[in-house]
Structure 1
Amino acid sequence: MTGYPQALKDHLAGGATTLARCLAVTRKDGMVLGFTDHDRDLAFEGIVFRAGSGLTAKAIQQSTGLAVDNSEAFGALKSDAITEADILAGRYDGAEVRGWIVNWADVGVRALQFRGTLGEVLRKGGAFNAELRGLAEGLNQPQGLIYHARCSAVLGDGRCRFDQNRPGYAEERAVEEVEGARVFRFAGLSGYDDRWFEKGRFEVRTGRAAGLVGAIKNDRLREGDVHEVELWQALGIAPEPGDMVRIEAGCDKRPDTCRLKFANYDNFRGFPDIPGEDWLMSYPVGAAVNDGGSRRG
C-alpha cells in the first residue's frame, strides 16, 4: 500500500471496506469517458464514472523496475458507451487510461493505481477485451536515429519545419465519390500534378468519420481531371459524400523531393552522400596506383 493516502490505508485496515474501481479513458479526439464497477455512478475530478457502462477492469499487475505494468479491461459493447463502430474506427487506439481504487462511500478517499494507454482491443460476440499498458511501455519503442540516404523527419514536424498550410500543399474538399472507405475520387484538382498527394496524409473533418486519419498510398490523375486517392488501409468508418476532408501533399523522403517539391533542403534530415553497399564490398588493389585521385581510362 506504499503511496496510498493515509485515509485509504486506515479504511483498508478497518476490515469492512466499501471499495470500487474507476477507470477514465481519454481518447485522442479529447473525449473523456468514465467507468466504474460499482452499482451506481461516482464522480470526482470533473468526471462522471458510469455504472453498468460496459467496462470492467481486472486486477492490476504492478512491479518494480522497468517492467511494464499491465492489466485488462473487458465488457459488453453498448450503444451509449463503447460502441463497435468507434472501436473499428480506431478511436480508442492509444487512448490514455487512468485507474483508481475508490471508497465509494467517500470518493475523496482514493488512490491512482494505474496510468497508461489502451493496447490491443479484441471484439467477439458483442463484447470486447482491451489490454491496458503501463507508462513503461514507451521504453519498449526503438529510440535514436540511423544513418541512411533518405530523410528521417516527418513532413511538418519540429525537425522538418515545413509549413503544410502553405498554399498548394493541402486541399480541403467535400467527399465526392468513395469506394470501400479506401478509394476517393475528386474532380477539379487541376492545380496538382499526378502523384502530388502520394505518401501524404488524409484526414476526415466532418461527419460520422470525423477525426479519422489515413495514409495515402496512391494518387493518380485520371481522365477528366479527376484525382483518385487510395489509402493504404480502409478507414474504420466510411466518409459519406459531402463530408469535408483534408488532403496533404506527400513526401517520399528523397533529397530531390525536399529541394524541388518543398524548397526545404536546408532542413533535410538524411545523408544522401553516405557510401552505398558497393563501397562496403571494396578492397585494395595492388596493381594500380591508389593515390586518391580520379582514374581516367
Structure 2
Amino acid sequence: MRTISPQLESHLQGVVTNHCFVWIIRCSNQQILGFTDHDLPLVVKSIKCEPQSGMNSSEAHSKLGLSISGSEIEGALVSDRIREEDIENGIYDDAVVETYLVNWNEPAEQLFLQSWTIGKITRSGVKFVAEIKGAAAAYDKIHGRRILRQCDAELGDQRCGILSRDPRYHAHGVVVAVDGADMEVSGLENYAADWFLHGSFTWTHGRNINAKSKVTLQRSDLIRLRDEPVFAVEAGDEFEILAGCDKSFSTCKAKFTNSVNFRGFPHLPGNDAAYSYINKDMNFDGGALVP
C-alpha cells in the first residue's frame, strides 16, 4: 500500500495540479540517469532529472497473483547520456527503472509509483522502445540446470573447463577492408574455415570497442557477423574471437576434446523416440545413443 504525504495528497485534490512523471534508471554499471516529462530540470532523490528528454511511457498494467505486469518506455536519443552504442552494448539490460509522480513546483512532494526491470530494447534510427517488467518477471526465468541433450555451459566458463585464452580456441585479428557485411581480416590464417562459426566476437579497438556479436561465416581471411555494428567498421579496427561451439556432444568431443566436462545429457531419449512406433531399426538396450 502506497503512503501519500499529506502535502501531496492535498495538492492532488486541488482544482489545479502541478504534477509530472519522473523516471530514474539505475544501470548495472552503477550509472544513474534521471528524466522527466516536465519542461524544467528537477532534482528527485538527489538525482538531477533532465527535462523534455523525448521519453514517454505507455500505460502500465499490474495484475494480481504471479502474472507478469509490464509497460514500455519509448523515446528518442536526444539526451547526451543515452547513447546508441550503450543500448547496443547492453548497458541498459536488466537496469532498474523507478517511476515517480512529482509536484514539479515542490519536487520534495513525490510519490513512488513502481519499480520495473528493463527487458528487451528495440531501436529504429534515433528512436528506441524499452520493455519494462514487474517483479513477477523473475519467476519466469529459468533457474538451476535444465535437462537437455545439449550442453548448458558457456565455452570457457568454470563448468566448461576450456581455457578461453588457449591459442587453439582464441585469436586476435585486424580488419583489412570492408565489403558490405563481409570483412577482410588478418590474423586467422592458421585456423580452418568455420572454426570460429557461431563463436563470440568482441571489438577491442575502434569506434565499436567492447561491442559483441556472433560469427555467422568465417574463412582464413573473411568474417561475417550476425549483428551489424553501430558504427561503420574501418580498416585497422581490431577484434578478438573465440571458437564456436554448437553445444553438441560430438563437437565437445571432437573439436575441444572435452567430453568429460560435457554438461548436457546426450543419451537422453527425446520425444521422437518415446512417441514413435517400434520397428526393427530401434534398439533401446540401454546402450549409449551418442557414440
Cα deviation, 1:184-227, whole Å, max 9, x if unaligned, reads 22224333233221120111233332332211122223xxxx2x
Per-residue deviation, 1:248: 0.9
| Counterpart Cα distance in 2 of 1:147 and 1:79 | 44
| Counterpart Cα distance in 1 of 2:189 and 2:261 | 29
Aligned to 1:217: 216
Indicate the SS of the match to 1:51. coil
Matched, 1:230 2:224: yes
Cα RMSD (Å): 3.7
Percentage of matched positions with identical amino acids: 30
Aligned to 1:49: 49
Indicate the SS of the match to 1:131. strand
Change (3 A) 1:264 1:42: farther
Aligned to 2:7: 11
Alignment check: 8 A CA contact 1:63 1:69 kept: yes
Of 226, 248, 251, the match for 1:254: 248
Unaligned runs of 5+ in 2: none
Cα deviation, 1:29-76, whole Å, max 9, x if unaligned, reads 765432111222233556432112221234432232222222232334
Indicate the SS of the match to 2:228. coil
| Counterpart Cα distance in 1 of 2:265 and 2:191 | 29
Unaligned runs of 5+ in 1: none
Change (3 A) 1:3 1:187: same
Per-residue deviation, 1:119: 3.2
Cα deviation, 1:106-136, whole Å, max 9, x if unaligned, reads 4485425122114353548x65544333233
Matched, 1:33 2:29: no
Change (3 A) 1:171 1:33: farther
Aligned to 1:131: 131
Output the TM-score relative to the length of structure 2.
0.75
Alignment check: 8 A CA contact 1:156 1:164 kept: yes
Change (3 A) 1:68 1:45: same
Indicate the SS of the match to 2:118. strand
Output the TM-score relative to the length of structure 1.
0.74
| Counterpart Cα distance in 2 of 1:247 and 1:284 | 46
Aligned to 1:119: 120
Change (3 A) 1:48 1:201: same
| Counterpart Cα distance in 2 of 1:127 and 1:273 | 47
Q: Greater shift after overlay, 55-64 or 102-111? A: 102-111
Tell me the amino acid that sits aligned with residue 191 of structure 1.
N
Indicate the SS of the match to 2:5. helix
Aligned to 1:204: 203
Q: For 1:60-209, what aligned pairs fall within 5 Å after superposition?
A: 60-78=60-78, 80-82=80-82, 85-86=84-85, 89=88, 91=90, 94-101=93-100, 102-104=102-104, 105-107=106-108, 109-111=110-112, 113-121=114-122, 123=124, 127-141=127-141, 145-148=146-149, 150-180=150-180, 182-209=181-208
Alignment check: 8 A CA contact 1:21 1:99 kept: no
| Counterpart Cα distance in 2 of 1:87 and 1:142 | 26
Tell me the amino acid that sits aligned with residue 114 of structure 1.
S
Indicate the SS of the match to 1:176. strand
Tell me the amino acid that sits aligned with residue 112 of structure 2.
A
| Counterpart Cα distance in 1 of 2:121 and 2:70 | 12
Alignment length, in residue pairs?
Answer: 276
Tell me the amino acid that sits aligned with residue 65 of structure 1.
G
Alignment check: 8 A CA contact 1:151 1:270 kept: yes
Indicate the SS of the match to 1:205. strand
Change (3 A) 1:284 1:59: closer
Alignment check: 8 A CA contact 1:26 1:97 kept: yes
| Counterpart Cα distance in 2 of 1:284 and 1:127 | 57
